[in-house]
Structure formats: C-alpha cells, structure tokens
C-alpha cells in the first residue's frame, strides 16, 4: 500500500485505526518538534479531538447554539437593559429623567420650601408674625449650613442678596407698591427684616442648582454687556416712577444678548437648554410663589386688601428680570462655568432639538 506525505492511507486516529479514504490536503507543512508525536489529520465531518464522525459527515447541520443560562434570569435581563440604555424607549428615558430632575429641583429649593412652611405656620404663632418669621429664617439658614446643604461661602453670598432685596423692599413699600399688614416689631421703614430672606431664597435656589446640576454655559455675553444689563434692570426697579418703565426695552436687550446662550446641566445624562427659556421658567415659578405668599397674607398688593385676588400677570416680566439680574450676580462669582463661545469638548442632548434633526 502506498503512503502519502501525511503518513499513508491508514493512520492511527484517537486510539483506533481509521478506515482508508481520501485525506484533506494541507497548504503548508506544520512545524514538528522532535520528541513530540505528529497530530493526526482530521477528515471532513470528523469531530475535533475525537475519532467519531460529526453530523456534517452524514449531511446534517450542527444544532444552533443555545443561549447561556443563568441562575438569575431576571437579574441578567435587567443588567443587560441597563448596559444598553439606547434600546429603551425614548419616552421612558424622558420620564425617568424628568422624575430625577424634579427631585434635584426640590433639593435646590429647600430654603424656599422651608420659608413657605414657616410662613404658613407663623399665622398660628403666639409671637408677632413677622418676628417669628425672622427667627425661623435665621434658623433655616443655619440649619442648611449645618446639614451641609449649603456652604458658608454660599451663605455669605445670600447675605448680599438679603441686603439688596431689603433695600428694594424699603423703596417699593415707601411708594405704596405693596404693604405688610401683619404684626411685627423688627422693621426698618415699615418693612419687616424677614422680607430680605425672600430674595435670598431665590439666590439659594440658584446657587444650589448651579452646583447640583453642574451648570455650564456657552456663548455667554461679554462682561461689559452683562454688567450694563444688570445695572439697567436694577435701576429700572428704582427709577420707573420718574423716568418711566423701560422693562420691555430692557427685556428685548436681554433677549438679544442671551439669544445664543445655552446652559448644560446634568440629571443622569447631560442636557442642553436655551438660557432665555430657563429665565422664563424660573420667573414663572417665582410668580406662582408670589401668589402663594399673598394668599397666606405675608404681604399684599393694593388690589388685594380685604379680598384676595391673583397677582396681575404683568408682574411676571418683573420676576423674569429679577431672575436675570440674580443669575448675573451669581455668574460673577462662578466665572469658571462660563464660556464666551461654544464649550469645547462637551456634548449634551438638546432639550429642544434643532429643526430637521
């Protein structure tokens, strides 16, 4: 019997003698080390490592691979979904993000929420209402710092907002824009000292939201334009009785310089929102908060004396401007979060997609 290069027509395979038959040719010589036996060639359809014919030798196909079984199938399925969030529905993602977004907003507005609670309970206090509110506001401020919800640096910044707000209150109450009708001994020019904390609550929300959402801004206006806008807003609050009310002109100027400005914030993912929209939404919530304050009797507009009625919708523009000037003051402290152009190296999902995208 003849033999070929691979060792003949009959060869020892898997401990037995395979029957004679054609052997698959090889394209190259396999390296052989002295002292080691040569590996036996494998025929078509033969199972690797065995001498038995495989299913392909009889014209059959191998069975499909079975999915890997685990002891905890539901846990494995949930882990797979978490590792592949892109397979989740778009609506599901938005709902989960919105719920977490609301939770962070509540954390950021702790000072305002405590102030509302104390304002409601102060109506039943045996002490003069405004004096009890002042003590409560001081306790809220100290408590937030001790609970590490605010830092001492943020607390000092809130003191500046308190003084600015108190000065505005003295001026507005003196000219009859609104009045404080409840009892209280700690007043300056008929303005209770606790009133400055209402402005500090707005600043507290901004400072905490800045930190908790990791706010970053792109296309921020130049410092000269931002300073001019802040001075114009604050001056209009004082001079509108003599020079006229220019809030709408100032609003157009604010929209012009902030038209391209956006803010990136983190919920679970990174999101992007036009800053003018954020100004409007914050001003809208301040407007709702003012209606609640007047309903509780903390202060009253002239048309609310005797019988309560909602605050005029025209006041919304004032609160939007107040929000803008407050953001400008905080931005002067957090200049590291500002960029005068597009922020390089940062990506975020747009809250409002571009047209055509």
Amino acid 24: pLDDT: 53
* CB-based contact 168:196 (threshold 8 Å): no
| CA 352, chain centre distance (Å) | 15
String of DSSP letters for 44-102:
TTBPTTSSSB-GGGGT--PPPPPPPP-S-HHHHHHHHHHH-GGGS-HHHHHHHHHHHHH
* Number of CB atoms found within 10 A of residue 118's CB: 19
Amino acid 66: pLDDT: 57
| CA 295, chain centre distance (Å) | 31
Amino acid 104: pLDDT: 94
SS3 for 13?
strand
Residue 351 bridge partners (DSSP): none
Block mean pLDDT (10 aa), the chain, length 357: 44 45 50 56 51 52 56 46 48 83 93 92 90 93 88 83 89 89 88 91 92 92 92 87 85 94 91 93 94 91 88 90 91 81 60 53
Distance CA(120)–CA(123), nearest Å, equals 6
Q: What's the length of the chain?
A: 357
- Residue linked to tokens 């009708």: 181
Distance CA(200)–CA(144), nearest Å, equals 13
Angle between the 152-174 and 223-243 helix axes, to the nearest 10 degrees?
A: 20
* Two structure tokens written together for 98: 């919105």
- Residue linked to tokens 């003698």: 17
- DSSP class of residue 124? G
Distance CA(319)–CA(316), nearest Å, equals 5
* Two structure tokens written together for 262: 């956006």
Tell me how many degrees the CA angle 261-106-289 measures, rounded to the nearest 5: 80
Pairing of strands 270-274, 349-350: parallel
Distance CA(240)–CA(171), nearest Å, equals 12
SS3 for 53?
strand
Distance CA(20)–CA(7), nearest Å, equals 12
Amino acid 157: pLDDT: 82
Burial 32-69, CB ≥16 within 10 A → b, else e: eeeeeeeebbbbeebeeeebeebeeeeeeeeeeeeeee
Cα dihedral across residues 195, 197, 201, 206: positive or negative: positive
Query: 296 vs 80, 185, 292, CA distance in Å?
Result: 51, 20, 6
* Two structure tokens written together for 152: 């001492």
pTM: 0.69
Amino acid 237: pLDDT: 86
Query: 313 vs 212, 253, 300, 316, CA distance in Å?
Result: 31, 21, 15, 6
Amino acid 234: pLDDT: 87
End-to-end CA distance of the chain, in Å? 76
Taking only the tens place, the pLDDT of each residue in 221-249 is 999 999 999 999 988 888 877 888 888 99
Q: Sheet containing 270-274: give its strands across.
A: 216-218, 262-266, 270-274, 349-350
CA atoms within 13 A on the CB side of 146: 6
């Amino acid at each position: 019997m003849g033999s070929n290069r691979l060792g003949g027509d009959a060869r020892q395979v898997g401990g037995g003698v395979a029957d004679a038959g054609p052997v698959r040719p090889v394209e190259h010589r396999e390296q052989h080390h002295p002292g080691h036996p040569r590996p036996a060639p494998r025929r078509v359809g033969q199972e690797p490592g065995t001498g038995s014919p495989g299913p392909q030798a009889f014209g059959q196909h191998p069975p499909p691979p079975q999915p890997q079984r685990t002891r905890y199938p539901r846990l494995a399925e949930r882990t797979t979904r978490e590792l592949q969030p892109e397979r989740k529905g778009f609506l599901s993602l938005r709902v989960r993000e919105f719920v977490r977004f609301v939770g962070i907003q509540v954390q950021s507005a702790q000072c305002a929420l405590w102030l509302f609670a104390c304002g409601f309970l102060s109506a039943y206090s045996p002490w003069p209402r405004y004096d009890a509110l002042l003590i409560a506001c001081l306790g809220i401020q100290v408590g937030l710092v001790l609970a590490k919800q605010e830092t001492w640096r943020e607390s000092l910044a809130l003191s500046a907002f308190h003084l600015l707000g108190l000065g505005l209150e003295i001026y507005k109450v003196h000219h009859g824009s609104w009045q404080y009708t409840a009892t209280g001994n700690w007043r300056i020019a008929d303005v209770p000292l606790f009133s400055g904390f209402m402005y500090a609550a707005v600043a507290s929300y901004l400072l905490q939201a800045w930190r908790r959402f990791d706010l970053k801004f792109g296309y921020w206006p130049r410092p000269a334009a931002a300073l001019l806008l802040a001075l114009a807003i604050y001056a209009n609050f004082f001079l509108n009785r003599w020079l006229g009310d220019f809030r709408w002109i100032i609003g157009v100027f604010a929209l012009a310089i902030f038209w391209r400005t956006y803010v990136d914030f983190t919920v679970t993912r990174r999101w992007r929102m036009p800053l003018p929209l954020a100004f409007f939404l914050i001003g809208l919530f301040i407007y709702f908060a003012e209606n609640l304050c007047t309903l509780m009797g903390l202060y009253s507009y002239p048309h609310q004396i005797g019988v309560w009625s909602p605050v005029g919708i025209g006041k919304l523009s004032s609160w939007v401007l107040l929000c803008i000037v407050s953001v400008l003051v905080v931005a002067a402290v957090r200049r590291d979060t500002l960029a005068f152009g597009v922020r390089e190296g940062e990506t975020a999902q747009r809250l409002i997609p571009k047209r055509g995208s």
